[in-house]
């Protein structure tokens, strides 16, 4: 046993604890990203291979060629995030304040979908929205859909699929932040003659902002890069940037473009997070003053 002074041990231990995990992340996360940056600046073709040429034009080409898919990703992911917020907020509120002894059971129900395969659940939506399915026929009977109208292979289906798949990611952080609010603050507001609505708007909502922020990120980020929903519930007209990156990388072997696209996606998301955080942050600050 190595005998070191307590002081030396206390300074060395954290590095020893961090070392292996950090090394894993550096080798398999950070270095691949740097390597990816290099790949995005290469030119060549699948047959002869690619060499690094500092070819920045790939980026401008990527943006001009796949701007539509980028726009779609942001639009679909944004729509799904808002829908999830609208669906999940009352649910989380109910679980946190009104569910009583059913609280744990309801929470279990929210996480249970995680234990059925994501792909399989999406295939299940394919079946539900199928042209010859019960849902389409009822929609047609009710006149909500024309006789040759479809639900599958539409923008709506893709957005609904994304909304569905990421709903628990919105509901859980919302629940956590609502649960943490000191109930006495809300009581104090109503005691001081604030109406229920005002108390909700001025007390509950601002205090739930961290949850809204976390939930939106946990929904929006994976939704932006998702390609399963567009592939299974949409057509190439609904393809998002994830579909492009995947097919460029796996099928077409156009590595530079795929690398450039994933870099643009990552940068856009980071900028988005910063702006969103700033917006929510300043808003809550203003509310406090």
Using CB under 8 A as the binding rule, the residues of this chain from 49 to 88 that contact other proteins are 87-88
Q: Is 159 in the site for other proteins (CB under 8 A)?
A: no
Q: How far apart are CA 82 and CA 220, in angstroms?
A: 9
Q: Is 132 in the site for other proteins (CB under 8 A)?
A: yes
Q: Between 107 and 145, name the residue whose CB sits nearer to other proteins.
A: 107
Q: Which residues pair with 52 in a beta bridge?
A: 42
Task: Tell me the CA distances in angstroms from 130 to 77, 153, 213, one per residue in order.
Answer: 23, 9, 35
Q: Is 32 in the site for other proteins (CB under 8 A)?
A: yes
Phi/psi for 49 (5° steps) reads 90, 175
Q: Is 108 in the site for other proteins (CB under 8 A)?
A: yes
Q: Between 123 and 205, name the residue whose CB sits nearer to other proteins.
A: 123
Q: How far apart are CA 158 and CA 171, in angstroms?
A: 20
Residue whose tokens read 């156009």: 254
Q: Which residues pair with 174 in a beta bridge?
A: none
Site string for other proteins, 206-245 (x = CB under 8 A): ----xx-xx--xx--xx-xxxxx---x---------x--x
Binding segment toward other proteins, per CB under 8 A, in 56-64, 151-159, 172-180, 279-287: 172-180
Q: Is 121 in the site for other proteins (CB under 8 A)?
A: yes
Choose, by CB under 8 A, the member of 57, 109, 144, 274 that binds other proteins. 109
Q: Is 44 in the site for other proteins (CB under 8 A)?
A: no
Q: Is 28 in the site for other proteins (CB under 8 A)?
A: yes
Choose, by CB under 8 A, the member of 57, 112, 274, 285 that binds other proteins. 112
Which of these, 239, 236, 288, 241, lies nearest to 266 by C-alpha position? 241
Q: Tell me how far, at minimum, the Cβ of 25 lies from other proteins, in Å.
A: 7
Q: Is the dihedral of CA 143, 81, 79, 248 positive or negative?
A: negative
Task: Tell me the CA distances in angstroms from 216 to 22, 81, 86, one per residue in order.
Answer: 27, 6, 11
């Amino acid at each position: 046993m190595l005998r070191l002074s307590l002081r030396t041990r206390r300074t060395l231990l954290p590095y020893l604890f961090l070392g292996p995990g950090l090394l894993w992340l550096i080798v398999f996360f950070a270095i691949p990203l740097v390597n990816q940056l290099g790949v995005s600046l290469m030119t060549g073709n699948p047959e002869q291979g690619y060499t690094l040429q500092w070819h920045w034009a790939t980026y401008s080409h990527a943006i001009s060629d796949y701007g539509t898919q980028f726009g779609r990703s942001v639009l679909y992911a944004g729509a799904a995030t808002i829908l999830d917020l609208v669906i999940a907020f009352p649910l989380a509120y109910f679980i946190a304040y009104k569910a009583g002894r059913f609280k744990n059971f309801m929470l279990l129900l929210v996480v249970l979908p995680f234990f059925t395969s994501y792909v399989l659940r999406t295939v299940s939506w394919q079946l539900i929205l199928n042209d010859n399915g019960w849902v389409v026929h009822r929609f047609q009977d009710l006149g909500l859909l024309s006789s040759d109208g479809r639900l599958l292979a539409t923008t709506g289906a893709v957005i609904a699929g994304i909304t569905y798949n990421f709903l628990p990611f919105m509901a859980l952080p919302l629940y956590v932040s609502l649960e943490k609010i000191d109930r006495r603050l809300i009581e104090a507001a109503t005691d001081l003659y604030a109406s229920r609505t005002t108390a909700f708007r001025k007390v509950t909502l601002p205090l739930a902002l961290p949850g809204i922020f976390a939930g939106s990120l946990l929904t929006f980020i994976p939704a932006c890069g998702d390609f399963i929903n567009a592939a299974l519930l949409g057509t190439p007209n609904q393809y998002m940037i994830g579909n492009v990156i995947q097919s460029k990388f796996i099928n077409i072997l156009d590595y530079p473009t795929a690398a450039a696209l994933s870099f643009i996606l990552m940068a856009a998301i980071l900028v988005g997070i910063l702006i969103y955080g700033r917006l929510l942050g300043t808003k809550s600050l203003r509310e406090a003053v």
